[in-house]
């Protein structure tokens, strides 16, 4: 792509084949580790040294130190809708485009929020373990009683694409849907906008769909958990640090809320030991993990990256001002 050498792309983890093949088919010099596990910091830093582009995933911290080492960098394309692993202001300052993958994972993530909600309410994991461990010896009228889902109130915090997809699914369960969020539309055919505190007080299930940023750090803590119903469930497929995990454990222990379904944690892959409880369903940040969706995310990330390298507009960019700067006459 340049006179003396092909442009170099470093893909920080093995991604679905079609995306890697697409990149290689663009005449790029593509490097990617063979191991699925995370690279050490030094491995990451040395791999990006002469790269024009990085295709990253959400656990790779792309910060000033990375930008300092990757002096030829033009684009960081994250294979995720969230981009809190990237120092975007620093990228912008250095004229590096940051891309993400909104849209392609919306429905898959919404499906999984529902899977957690249903599993937590109806004790699915506990039932499974009970049968699998050979503990099921007789049928009892009071065995494994959980909470109904149909006809209840679902509160959705953050009403972007994923929040709305979760809301749409609630119609099949005859649920009342409430939603809140500073940027949420005033009206929606999928629910009623209310204040955050009204939502917490009135909902049987509270599902979180806000991005992680300083303003959403510990959005749910002791005070908010106290507002929730004692029979309420908290579902988190957004980002772990939106919830104060320590205070969630306290609320679960003291019976302030009935249970939780959690896909994301404050210090992944560590999970607070207090969350290993029967009334908490745990998953390893897997909400977008369907074969089809992960392939779409990887392909979109690869296409975004190539578009930026070619001076074209990517499908999604977090800091469009970087492209504007490149295009505007000097």
147, two tokens: 């909470």
Q: Which is nearer to ligand DGY, 9 or 210 (CB)?
A: 210
Asked if residue 62 binds ligand DGY (CB under 6 A), the reply is: no
How far apart CA 200 and CA 156 sit, in angstroms, is 9
Can you name the residues that pair with 156 across neighbouring β-strands? Answer: 179, 207
Helices of type H across 82-194: 88-93, 106-121, 124-132, 161-170
Q: Which is nearer to ligand DGY, 80 or 199 (CB)?
A: 80
Least distance in angstroms from the C-beta of 264 to ligand DGY: 7
Question: Is 128 tagged catalytic?
Answer: no
Q: Which is nearer to ligand DGY, 80 or 220 (CB)?
A: 80
Q: Which is nearer to ligand DGY, 7 or 75 (CB)?
A: 75
Cα–Cα distance list, 55 to 16, 49, 83, 127, 148 (Å): 12, 14, 12, 41, 43
Piece of 60-68, 78-86, 172-180, 218-226 that binds ligand DGY (CB under 6 A): 78-86
- Which residue of the set 126, 246, 268, 272 is catalytic? 268
Q: Which is nearer to ligand DGY, 207 or 288 (CB)?
A: 288
Can you name the residues that pair with 191 across neighbouring β-strands? Answer: 188
Burial of residue 116 (number of CB atoms within 10 Å: 0-12, 13-18, 19+)? buried
Asked if residue 80 binds ligand DGY (CB under 6 A), the reply is: yes
Piece of 74-82, 201-209, 267-275, 315-323 that binds ligand DGY (CB under 6 A): 74-82
Asked if residue 82 binds ligand DGY (CB under 6 A), the reply is: yes
Nearest to 163 by CA among 149, 182, 148, 184: 184
Helices of type H across the chain: 17-24, 41-47, 64-69, 88-93, 106-121, 124-132, 161-170, 196-202, 222-227, 245-254, 291-309, 321-327
Asked if residue 105 binds ligand DGY (CB under 6 A), the reply is: yes
Asked if residue 38 binds ligand DGY (CB under 6 A), the reply is: no
Q: Which is nearer to ligand DGY, 78 or 203 (CB)?
A: 78
Asked if residue 319 binds ligand DGY (CB under 6 A), the reply is: no
Burial of residue 110 (number of CB atoms within 10 Å: 0-12, 13-18, 19+)? buried
Asked if residue 115 binds ligand DGY (CB under 6 A), the reply is: no
Asked if residue 316 binds ligand DGY (CB under 6 A), the reply is: no
Question: Is 123 tagged catalytic?
Answer: no
Asked if residue 95 binds ligand DGY (CB under 6 A), the reply is: no
Residues constituting the chain: 330
Least distance in angstroms from the C-beta of 1 to ligand DGY: 28
Asked if residue 81 binds ligand DGY (CB under 6 A), the reply is: yes
Q: Summarize as ranges the residues that interact with ligand DGY (CB under 6 A).
A: 58, 80-82, 105, 288
Give catalytic residues, as residue numbers.
239, 268, 285
């Amino acid at each position: 792509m340049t006179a003396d050498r092909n442009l170099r792309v470093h893909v920080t983890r093995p991604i679905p084949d079609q995306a890697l093949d697409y990149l290689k088919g663009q005449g790029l010099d593509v490097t990617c580790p063979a191991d699925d596990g995370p690279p050490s910091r030094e491995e990451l830093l040395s791999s990006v040294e002469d790269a024009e582009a990085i295709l990253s995933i959400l656990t790779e911290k792309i910060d000033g130190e990375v930008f300092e080492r990757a002096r030829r960098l033009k684009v960081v394309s994250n294979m995720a809708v969230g981009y809190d692993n990237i120092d975007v202001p620093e990228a912008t300052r250095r004229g590096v485009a940051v891309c993400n993958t909104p849209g392609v994972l919306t429905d898959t993530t919404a499906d999984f929020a529902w899977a957690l909600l249903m599993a937590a309410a109806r004790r699915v994991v506990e039932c499974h373990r009970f049968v699998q461990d050979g503990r099921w010896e007789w049928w009892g009228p009071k065995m494994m009683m959980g909470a109904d889902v149909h006809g209840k109130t679902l509160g959705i915090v953050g009403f972007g694409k994923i929040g709305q997809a979760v809301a749409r699914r609630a119609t099949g369960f005859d649920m009342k849907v409430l939603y809140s969020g500073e940027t949420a539309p005033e009206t929606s055919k999928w629910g009623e906008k209310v204040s955050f505190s009204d939502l917490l007080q009135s909902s049987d299930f509270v599902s979180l769909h806000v991005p992680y940023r300083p303003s959403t750090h510990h959005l749910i803590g002791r005070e908010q958990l106290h507002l929730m119903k004692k029979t309420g469930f908290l579902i988190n497929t957004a980002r772990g640090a939106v919830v104060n995990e320590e205070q969630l454990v306290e609320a679960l222990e003291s019976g302030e809320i009935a249970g939780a379904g959690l896909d994301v944690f404050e210090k992944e892959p560590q999970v607070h030991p207090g969350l290993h409880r029967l009334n908490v369903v745990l998953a390893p940040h897997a909400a977008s993990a369907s074969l089809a969706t992960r392939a779409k995310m990887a392909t979109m990330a690869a296409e975004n990256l190539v578009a930026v390298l070619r001076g074209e507009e990517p499908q999604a960019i977090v800091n469009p001002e970087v492209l504007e700067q490149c295009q505007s006459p000097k």
